[in-house]
Structure formats: C-alpha cells, structure tokens
Structure 1
C-alpha cells in the first residue's frame, strides 16, 4: 500500500486498524482459521495490515453474503481483532491467509471507506474471574463436549485435549464454538454475548447436536445390518456360481470373462501386453459385477484389444508410381517429393529402417496438411491427423492415469486406434501453437514420441505398456519454427514450404482449384472457363498471400455466381476474363506494383518474413524542429527499436559524406513510423531500410520506388545476413519490384529462388551501407537560393548540404625521434 493510498497516520494504527469483511463466517478469539481473500478492497486492507507491526486486522462478518462491495451498514458492528500468521498466493490470484483471533472488538466508527475500510474500535476482553455459577457451567459444557467429540469422531485428539485443559470460561466457550456447525446468526450472537450467556447457549446447542448424533448412529447401525444382509446374499450367489460351474452351467459374468479371454488369445498381442491383459482379466473375474472398478478394467481391456499392436499395412514400394501420385495431387513442392521418394528407396533396400520424422514449416495455404494425405496415399498407408493448436495439458499427449475418473489414453494412442495400423502417416498439425501451463508441457511429452532412438517403447500413462512407434511416419506442420522448443526442433527434419510464384499459382488453379470448385458447386467444364489473364489478375489484385487459399475462395465465389445463373435456366457458357472479372468479384482489393506510386523522400520499401509468408513494408521517416529526440511508432519490438537506433547512429557518423551539418541532430527531432500499427513487428532485417529512409529525409534525395531491401545494419555500416530470403524475394516479386538489395553473405541462398523469379528481378548484393545508399537514393536536388533579405530555415526534410570546407594545410613531415 503506497502512502498516497492510505489516509491514516501510521502512528495511529494501534487505535485504527484495517477492516476485512467476511462472507458467511465469524472468527472467534483463540481461533486459527484460513481465509481466501480476492476482492480488491479486501486485498488493499490486507496489504495495509501486513505493513504494520504487529500485523493486526479487524475481521467482521457481512450481514448478506451476496454483496461484493458492502458498505458500513452492511457489516456487523462486533468482530475480532486478529493476528495475521501466514500469507500465500494461489495460482488464480487469490491470497490464502491464516489468521488467529486475539480479542473481541466493537467498531466505534469508520475512519475511512476507500481505498479500504479502516475502523476505530474498542477491545472487549473477557473477564478472567470465575464465580461458582460459571464453574458449574464450565464443567457441564466440558462434559457435554467430551460426549459430543466421542460421537462425532471429527475432532482431532490434540484439539480435544486443548479444549479440556482450558481454565478461562471465555476461552472455553470460544474453543467449543469453533467445532460446532452453527449458522452465521448464531455465531454472531455468541460473539456479542457475555461469558455466562455464551456458556448457557453452547450447552443448549451441544444437547441438540448430541441428540442428532445419537440418531445418526442408530441409522448407521440399521444400514450396516442391511449391508451385512447384502454381503450374505453375495456370498450365497458366489456359491451358486460354483455349483453351476460344477454342473457345467455358466452365467453372464463368466460368459463375459470367457469372451475377453478369447479376444486376447486371438489378438496376436506382444508377450508383455498379453500378460498385462490376462492379469487385468483375472482381477475383473474376482470383482463383483456392479463395482465401479470393474467398469475401469473393462474399458482398459477394450483399449488394449482395439490397438494395432501387430497390424501393419504393406508399403507401396514402386517409386515411379508413388512419384506419379505425388505429382497428381500437388504442383511443385520438389523438396518434399524428393524426400518421400528417398524414404521409399531406403525402405525398399532396407525394410527394417525407421520411419522419418519430418516437420513442414511454411505460410498458411501452401499445402502442408494436404501433402501429408498425398504422402499416405503414395505409400499405401493409413492417414491420421491430430491438431495440436491450443493443447496445453501434457495428458493430452501421454494420457491420464487410470486412477482418475473418466481417464483416457493420449492423442497418439487414440490416433493409432483410429488408423487401425501400427505404421500410419501420423500428422501433428500446428505443432508451433502448443501451449504450456500448470498442467505440464505437451511439447516435452512429444520428445519421446518424436525421437527415433526412444519411440520404439513409447509410454502412455493410461496404458502403462511399451508401445512401438518406430514404424510410424510422423509429419509435423507449423507456420513458424521460432516457437517450437529447441529440443523438439532438434528431433525433426525441417522442410520449408516457401510461397508460390505467380506462374505456380496459375498452374495450381488450372489443374486443381478450378476442377475442385466446379465439382463443389455442381458445374461442368462447359459452364465456366477462366482465361490465364483473369487468373493472373485474381492472383495480383484480389489476393496477396503466399499460398492459394484465398485464391481458391475467390474462385469459389465466381463459381457460386455462375451456379446461380445456371440454376435460373441460363444455358450460356461463362468465360471469366479481365473485362468481366469485376462483375463477379467487385473492384480490385490490392494494387499490384510497387509499394509507392512515385519516388518519395523519407519512404523506403523493406522486406519482412512473418508466419503468413513474405511481405513488403513501407518505412517512413520525417523530421521536425526539436532537440534531437528519436520517436519510433508502429508497435515495434525491442530488436527493431535497436536497429533504428543503430541506423540513426550510422547516419550521424556519415553526416559529412551525406552533405549534412555535423550538428543537425541537435536541432531536429526524428520520427520513424512503420505502418500497420495494429500488427506487432520485430527483427533486425529492417535496419538498412530504416537507414535509407533516414538518409533520404535528411538529404532530400528521393528513394526509388521499385527498389526493395532487407539486411541488418551495424554501427560501422556493415550489412549482415538475414533469414527467410526466399519468402522475402517472392514477396518483392508479387509486389512488382524490379530491384532487390540483399546482404552479400546471402548470395548462397539465391539458388533457392525459382528461375523465372530470378530472371524478372535485379539483385544487388552489398556489404556496406554506402553501397545501399548509392543504389536506392535518387540524385541530389540542386539548392536554389532565393533573393530574400533573411534566409529562411530550410524544411526539416530538405537540409542543404554543408558548403565545402577548405582543406587544412598539410604540415611538413617530421622525422621520428629515436
């Protein structure tokens, strides 16, 4: 609690204490009780009490439990001053507090009500002298409590001994009242009564409780006799079963056990699994039929028998046929297809080889999930897919132990049961979106399943049996690799899916998307046709993505409109061209071409890589009169902010070379903005883009609008390599850029760029920032001197270059002195 929040002088804390209202309970003196504190006002009162010494607080009950924000009139005037013994925080944010009642207190007035209740009170300790009448009441109460404790059997022995050893009448009444099940009103009355009245009332309450307990004991005895009768009937039934067995007859129970035994023998289970199944069956045979444990054992046996312990599908080892199937289902994706063919070749030469563990990483809509189905079809295997997006519980992977109610195996075991074979293609979709919380780390549970050296004996908590996953072909998919834990990433062979080029999208649309949408919307080939120019226009101006998901959506919209015309009786075939495309899809949503319409000052185009693929981003810089402050906006991360600082430092260090006054930063404020403010941005690869925007704004030279760039900058102006080059170059190609500036060290990555894209782009490989400025900035503008009496202050974005300075006179060389 800060000093600005409390209104009470710390010196008066002994007379004025914080008040914490209680719901549904009353704390007596000498009572140790745990409380859950979660209301903001109560938390502030607790913080104020913890700040004092000793840590005291007044606890008083609310008159109504359903009030979350009670006022002074809603709280009883009598309560207890309590000492705070211990404070702990639970995972849900509620504070668990253990308090001990010290003395009764009567609230005189409320010293404050916000930000927490603080009250002025008077302590009301109990009288210590005992009269003969009090002595008699104490003995009677102790005798009744002893009988009550014997009947209830719920009072710990140490607490019972503590009550029986009490000599003060008030303390005896308070300790006895703690163990009685009283209503709130009754507990409040006990708190407000005198010692003698408390003893008399507790005697009445104990008499009532003893009568109830004696009646409960009679009922329990009657129930126990009935249970003994049921057990006798069960014993007789078991004898009847034995007699039936001797006579060659059988009952339903025995028939169930026999059926399970036959299934176990016929299932061709591994030896350790068969042994465990027979052990559980033996337990089931000895159990009464209606026992809850019998249901658990039946479910366990059903799961063991449903799993494909020794069932496998034969791989299709014809390499040419498998390649034909892969080409039939997907266009491009050469790396993926080559990897599958390699696995088939190794499998053909070495049948005992283990299944690969692949990880497909790429933007949405690039075919990661669908290629998994195609791989399963090419191999002749079953396909099973498990989505891991949002999974936060480790038991989702490994299963629950059978001690839990409703326990089930994990997703891997469930997937094998669904597949019906021990060697399926098992897809772990969205592995980059696994979560972690107090229930465990699911990614850690996957380490064993995805390790070829360990997964031959995978352990599920539910089965508690070694399960062989070595023949399973695991394929994980995700959009970004950064969120996958390093240990899990190390166990997988990563294959990246880059975005499609424009030509690839057109081919995919012609061979896959258009036939699919025709079939989905009930159309035939003669109903609707697409020209290549229309498909190219859709890819350029109606979608801007790395994959083809939105492109398929737009074609579906066209096919639905055509289907509407056909359903109305129109027999005229529709040919979608550039001229009528707007009729079906409306005006273009994106402008194809460079990011800017014309060369501008202070605006440069960068290349970024996100989980949606590569994209272009415009970085703007502007100058204002000021004192050298740097402002960064656009929801930038720490790394990107540091890149902007490095870019500004580089420009300052090159002020003379750029024709700037060396003290320009002392009279100008710099503002760098990255549009799309709602999207978080981070990473070092925008360093040279920021430096170009800054240099352009300071020198007044325009940035060429058809130049895109990416690279990390250092203080010395060196340009460092970056990642995601292929996706970034494809984004520049989609946006219609003509020149791409790249770090020299990324030259080796250009081989991954498709040949048709490399032909249409000009790549400039740089090592220093000076080369970037020379390539991206336009010619310097000539300064025009206006014939005005007083030279105006030049605009912030167009500082004139410094006049040439006379070179210093060269001093004659002095020979070194030895």
Structure 2
C-alpha cells in the first residue's frame, strides 16, 4: 500500500467538479473565498513570526463529495447518494460531511491574475491523504489526516507490470488519435493540441515502472472524464487498483474518439481544387487560435519554418534523440549476431529518417525493440561440477518415484554435457597458451630493436594452429526428448525437475489447439498487429539462449488446414540439423535454438506425423502400478494434502491397506490425479472431525488449565483412517477387484490382463463349457478379433493333438464331432482384446475335455502358435502386480519374457513363483505335474503334426 503518517493541517475545499491529483498543477479561483483568505492569513502570520527553523506549511485540498459515490469512493445506486449533491454546496461554506474522504497535499506556487475578480491560486499536487477527523470548521477547515506515499514497485511484479505496459500503450494510442483528428476537417474537438500530444508521447516514453502511479494520475487529469471518475482515481491508494481505473478510462476515451471520427476521402480527379498553400495557411491559423484560447501553452516549441510562427525550441528533437540513443544502447547490450547487427543498423538508419507521426515509425520501432529483447548470446551457467550427477539424481528421485528410464537418459545428457565442457576448457587453455607470448610482444617496447639478437624476440601466434584448435571444440546440441504416457503420470512436472537440476530457466509452451502456422513461426511484418511466434516469445520471456522448453501436448497440435501446417512448422524447431538457424517470419533473422533443451509431452503417438516423430527421442512412461502409486501417495500426495487442508502430520494416519483400497476400489487411472483428489477428500473429512472435536471443548474446560492442550483428547478425535471409514467418506466402491477363486472345476482357467481400466493389471477368468451339438464354437464376453483368433488357434491345436492328450481313443477320432463348446469371459460389458490369452484358452480346453481342474492360484499369460509354441506378450509388470494383488501364487510366463522379470519390484518377485515355458507341453507339465501324456514322450521341443 505504501507509507502513512498522521498530522493536522488546514483544509481548502476545491470548487465544483475540480479534483487535484498528485503531480498536477491546478489554478483555483479565490474570489469570494473567505476560507482561503483565512488560511493564507494564518500561513502569513506564522511565517512572519520568528522561529528557530523554517518548516514549510502545507495545505490540504479536498474535492466535494459526489451524490453518486460514497465518501470513500465506492459507487452508489443512482439517486441514492444523499440529501444534497456537490453541485448545491458552496465550497467556501463546506463542512466535513460535504467533503470527500481523500485529498491531496498542495504546494502553493503563487497567485495569478490582474484584477481582484480574476485572482487564482496556483497549486501543485504532491501526495494523497485520507481525512480522519475534522478538528475545526471556522473560520477555515482544519482536519487530522493520514499522509500516503506510494511504495517502491518490484519490476518483476506480474500484477502491475502488464497493467503499466497497457497504460503506456493506451496513452500513446490516445495521443496518436488526437494528433490524427487534428488534420481531419470535421474531427472531434479535443483539449489537446497535436504538438502538446507529441510532447506528452515523449514524456510517457521516459516513464519507468516506479512511476506507474504518477503516470496513472497524470493521464487521468489529461482525459475528459467525469468528476466521479476522478474521485475514484484519487481514492485508489493501491497502485494496481489505480492503474486498472486509469486503463478503463483510457479505453473509454479511445472508443469515444474512434466512434466519432469520420474518415474524409480526397479525390485527385481535379488537382486545381486542392490548394496546398491554402490548406497549410488554414492549419497555421487553427494552431494560432488554439494558442490564443489557451488550449495549447504558448511555451511549446513549434517546428522551424512553420507558417505563422517563428523560432521555437529543440526539446522535442533532443528527447527523440535521447530515445534513439537508449534504443541503440539496448541493441548493443543484446549481443546481436553478425546478421542481426547488420539488419538492426539498417533499421536504425531508416528510423532516424522517419517522421514519428508515420504509422511505419512505430512498426519499425517495435521490430527493433523485439531484436533487443531476444537473448542472442546470453546463457545460464550450467551447474556442472564434481557433484553434478549426484545432485541431479537426488533432485529427480526427490521429485518423482520410479521413471527410471527417463532419469537414466537425463543423467546421460548431464554426463555428456560435462565431458564436452571439460574438453572445451582444455582447448581454450591451449589457445591461451599460444596467444600469451604474443601479448608480451605487443606490450614490449622496441627499445632493443638495434640489438643483433633477433632470435630472442617472441614470434606472433600461429593463426592456423589456433583455428585448428577452435574447430575441435565440442558443440552442445541438446537432445529433443518426447515423453509419451497417459495423463497424470508426471510428464510436465518431470520437465520442471530437469530444469531445476540443470539450474536453467524453464518455459512451458502449450501446443494444444494451435491451428495456425504463424503462432509457431510468427507473422510477417507486412501484416497488421504482427508479432513473433511462440518460440521467440518464450526466449524473450526467459531471457537466456539455453532454457528448458516444455512443448506440452504436442500430439494435439493442429494438422494441415487453410492457415498452414503447424506440425510441419515444428520440424524446423525440433530438427537438430536445422534449428541452429531457425527463421521466425517476424524477426526474419536466423536464431540458434540448438542450445535449447526441448522436452515434448504426448498422450499418444497416433496423431503425431511420422516426420515430426522421427526428430524426437521417444521415451515411454507407462501408467503407475498399484505399488508405485502407494509409494507416490506416501512420499508426495498425503503430505501435500495434509498441509493443504490445514492439518498436521500427526493428525491423520493412513495405513498401506487403506491407501491400497483407495487405489484399487476408487481410482482406476493411469496417473495419480484422481488419487490425489480422493486423498484430499479423506483429509477434508478428517479436518471436519478434528474441527468439531476441537469446538466441542467447552470454555470452562479450556479455562480450567493455564496451558490448554492444542490437540483434542484421543477419545474424542481419532487420527487413524480405517477401511470402514472409506465407505462413509468416499461412498460405495466404484470398482470391484477380481480375486482368485477358492475352488476349481474343469474348463475354468485364470488368465492375466495388463490394462483392465486405468493401467491396472488384474486377473481374467476364462470359462469353457461343452454341450451336445455339431462342433459349433460360441464366443461371448465382448471379445475382440484377436481374442477370437486365439480361441480358434487353441481349439485347432487341441483337436490336432487329441490323441496325444489322451482325449480320444485313436488319432483319427474327432473330439468335437458330437459336441459344441461355449467360451466366455466374465464382465461382458468391458471390451477385451489382445494377443495374450492363447495359452489360457488352450489349457482351458484341455481341462474341459480331460475333466481335470486347474489350481485357482495358478495364472498364465502368453500367446500360442499352431505349432504349440508359446510366444512373448507385453504388460508383464502390470499383469504380475495384478496377479499378486488377486492372491495368485504361481504364474506361467513365455520364455521370451524373461527379460521383463528383471524390472519387477522386489515385492512381486518374492510373492510369486514365476515359471517360464516355451511350449504347450511344458505348460501342461506345470499345470498337472503328475500326469502322463501319450504325445509327451515323443515331444523334443520342435514337435508339430501340422
């Protein structure tokens, strides 16, 4: 808000519809103002009396209250403002209730006027104050006030910075409209002359953010606004609120001018009708009348040689020169590339020759300002030292659980970057060692030039050797990573952790919904309101050439349309062989993006064009398993939600079984967003219980002890959350968990599925029944085409090996001749598909035809071929975690999935017996270990009857 100070001072009520703002000079008529005379007399008598130190006497100037505002500046319903408005009050007889609650300290500069009736007090506004109490009303007002001084503004304040920029832009736009309207024959009447408007433009351009409040006051005084609007500006002690109100007034004024301005077209069919000398003379007369009428101060310098005026000053030219010097300085400090420097020099020369009133002037100036804001050579120093890898590993482990592949890839990048910088440092040392003797030669004098010993003179450096060493420098081309995974798996937060571990700036670019190529590569300067693209704007925002850019949702980038192809525009950004010369259409100068570490995220690869996908290094992030979600909840989600909901660490306790229940029964998802929401619901429910328990302590009980306990008694509030509490807090279970059956029967086998819902692995029962028929096969359970084919392959293999399996009395007998079978997978509303149930179907058919049941704690996965070979499948990690959760003890896996077992959590390896099989005969030995088959003796691992 700012600094405040209380004091008592004389008050002068301002005339009707008059408001004095800080930084504004005002003429106040003093005719028939006995109160002003009394104040001046009091000041004069005090000033003439002898005092040890002469302290300045300040007068407070307060406007009259409005019937449409409260005394503190709040809007009232029209017509409900009070008994009398400010138009009915005589300022000389005003009382405390007629005054506004805010005023301005004014320094009296003097009295102007030749005759008594024309005398006016010249006052310069200084600081705001607030009326606290009227201490005296006659012969003049005196009050106790609280002085307000605006506090310093942080240049990086995200709330004030955009408002200040918008205020400056709207102010320049308003003044440009004023200058434009002056050359139109029937333009709207304004109180500003074109020359005064130009000087105000230069005045506004010099303002920085520390003067944001002063600029808002100044522009509010310049605008044609109502008394109530100025009162609201005066009452805005907060700078942000003051800027918002000033911007609103500027927008209103600009809209009014634009609506009233009529464009006049002049045809050139009859040149004799257009008298330029007459037009110039009329314009000079108009400016002279404005000066005489007081709408334009006579002290303002006029352009030299203008008709009807002589002389003038060069303040405007000097201020324009200062602006140009400042722009040149910014361009020099930007470290432009050679090509950018050449373009900037050419544009500066063009700008110096332009008239500031031309539309092209602002376009050219904006272009140069954009060039100065781009970080051409400024870079962040990477934190690369002996502890870099350990620090980065700790940062990634603290922020994320699991995700070992992406962590490994990022640590590889850090290691390579560190080695490259070490090589470059050695080469730089060698170059300096070569250059060093030449420096002594330059510093040395030619005093010994007459000596015969020329051999001791240092030789100049070998430029060819230096160039060879420079070519050996290692170029840092940052990788372009693509993180692919379901929503909520931590892709975006992982990119932030990478930036933190590297010590680099971070910027996020959301590509979802981008349909225009120009949003990526910028608009050409020939278009109205042209601007750079998302990439260049990101570089301007971070201010360095080697940030971490997150290209979020790149799979939702727009495809080819009439606006161009945004995905094709991204090729130049993400191609390591092209992005060191990226060409933005607005800048039109090659920009080096090779030092930017691009990390893209996507939910699916299906919608990414193959050429764009080829430019990126794809890293897949599968959905979190139940075990991983438990660890994430323990380390991150529960502590975060406990703090968010106002509880302490010891005020809520959730055991692992409760967390697992929330994961499996309430949140079937790939990520952890819904899990965090459900944990937050539990924390809020416990917060309500804790608050009610705390409120139930009576005041008498609390006063009975000198130090009442902070926590309620454990008998009143229990911090422990049980599984039974979840039903009342979260409602009924949304998902049912498949549990291994307790009994077995022929034709029923337990299979494994990787993704039932939300990347959760679980078991899947396969039921096969037979009945009298003609060999028909019926499939139910919403099976996909791949699963149907698995059933057909399994049935063919069983029929071909019926005699070997002891299912028929002769090799030529058909076991399906007089029977039909029905294959069903429960949960028929859920679609099922995938090449992983062939082994389970085969074992189920053998079990049905042989009448042998399969142990319910035995589950299996794998596809089979017509030769009986068990082929590998995917999703092993999710399937085995789901099997362990469902109570399975033994799992049959294909021989080709041995490599996937190494990445399993230790809990899964210890809780399951994993058996690898390569053929159906091997699986049958494990399923029925004591059985003997006819075909088993002749099988050598390559047996086939087909």
TM-score normalised by structure 2 residue count: 0.51
Distance 1:541 1:494, change over 3 A: same
Matched, 1:720 2:871: yes
Q: Deviations over 1:583-617 (max 9, x none)?
A: 43344444455365654635642323599435336
Q: Distance in 2 between matches of 1:407 and 1:759?
A: 63
How do 1:597-616 residues align onto structure 2 when only pairs under 5 Å count? 599=744, 601=747, 604-609=750-755, 612-616=758-762
Matched, 1:478 2:602: yes
How do 1:7-406 residues align onto structure 2 when only pairs under 5 Å count? 248=314, 250=316, 260-281=327-348, 297-317=364-384, 318-319=387-388, 320-351=390-421, 352-406=475-529
How do 1:423-572 residues align onto structure 2 when only pairs under 5 Å count? 423-434=546-557, 436-438=559-561, 441-481=565-605, 484-500=608-624, 502-568=626-692, 569-570=694-695, 571=712, 572=717
Matched, 1:650 2:797: yes
Distance 1:287 1:529, change over 3 A: same
- SS of residue paired to 2:339: helix
Q: Distance in 1 between matches of 2:643 and 2:378?
A: 36
Q: Distance in 2 between matches of 1:254 and 1:444?
A: 44
Matched, 1:761 2:908: no
Q: Is the 8 A contact 2:770 2:819 kept in 1?
A: no
Q: Is the 8 A contact 1:526 1:573 kept in 2?
A: no
Q: Deviations over 1:109-168 (max 9, x none)?
A: xxxxxxxxxxxxxxxxxxxxxxxxxxxxxxxxxxxxxxxxxxxxxxxxxxxxxxxxxxxx
Q: Distance in 2 between matches of 1:725 and 1:359?
A: 24
Distance 1:220 1:452, change over 3 A: closer
Q: Distance in 1 between matches of 2:878 and 2:279?
A: 78
Q: Deviations over 1:675-704 (max 9, x none)?
A: 46465x654334434445555566665555
Q: Is the 8 A contact 1:604 1:690 kept in 2?
A: no
Distance 1:354 1:667, change over 3 A: same
- SS of residue paired to 1:526: helix
Question: Structure 1 residue 307: deviation in Å?
Answer: 2.6
Distance 1:394 1:502, change over 3 A: same
Q: Distance in 2 between matches of 1:614 and 1:331?
A: 17
Q: Distance in 2 between matches of 1:772 and 1:225?
A: 106
User: Does 291-300 or 757-766 show the bigger shift?
Assistant: 291-300
Question: Structure 1 residue 557: deviation in Å?
Answer: 0.6
Q: Is the 8 A contact 1:346 1:353 kept in 2?
A: no
- SS of residue paired to 1:384: strand
Q: CA RMSD in A?
A: 4.4
Distance 1:221 1:337, change over 3 A: closer
Question: Structure 1 residue 517: deviation in Å?
Answer: 0.4
Report what 2:719 is aligned to. Answer: 574
Question: Structure 1 residue 748: deviation in Å?
Answer: 2.0
Gaps of 5+ in 2: 1-264, 285-301, 422-474, 696-711, 935-946
Q: Distance in 2 between matches of 1:665 and 1:397?
A: 67
Q: Distance in 2 between matches of 1:632 and 1:390?
A: 42
Q: Is the 8 A contact 2:560 2:566 kept in 1?
A: no
Q: Is the 8 A contact 1:501 1:734 kept in 2?
A: no
Q: Deviations over 1:175-203 (max 9, x none)?
A: xxxxxxxxxxxxxxxxxxxxxxxxxxxxx
Q: Deviations over 1:241-295 (max 9, x none)?
A: 6869997554587776565444323322222223334444555666676766666
Report what 1:738 is aligned to. Answer: 889
User: Does 404-413 or 264-273 show the bigger shift?
Assistant: 404-413
- SS of residue paired to 1:764: strand
Q: Distance in 2 between matches of 1:231 and 1:511?
A: 83
Q: Deviations over 1:704-758 (max 9, x none)?
A: 5444433333222222223343344334344443333322112122212222221
Question: Structure 1 residue 559: deviation in Å?
Answer: 0.8
Q: Is the 8 A contact 2:782 2:829 kept in 1?
A: yes
Q: Distance in 2 between matches of 1:223 and 1:678?
A: 83
Q: Distance in 1 between matches of 2:274 and 2:794?
A: 85
Q: Is the 8 A contact 2:752 2:879 kept in 1?
A: no
- SS of residue paired to 2:902: helix
Distance 1:332 1:262, change over 3 A: same
Distance 1:560 1:282, change over 3 A: farther
* From 810, 814, 820, the counterpart of 1:668: 820
Q: Distance in 2 between matches of 1:635 and 1:611?
A: 15
Q: Distance in 1 between matches of 2:825 and 2:524?
A: 54
Q: Is the 8 A contact 1:530 1:575 kept in 2?
A: yes
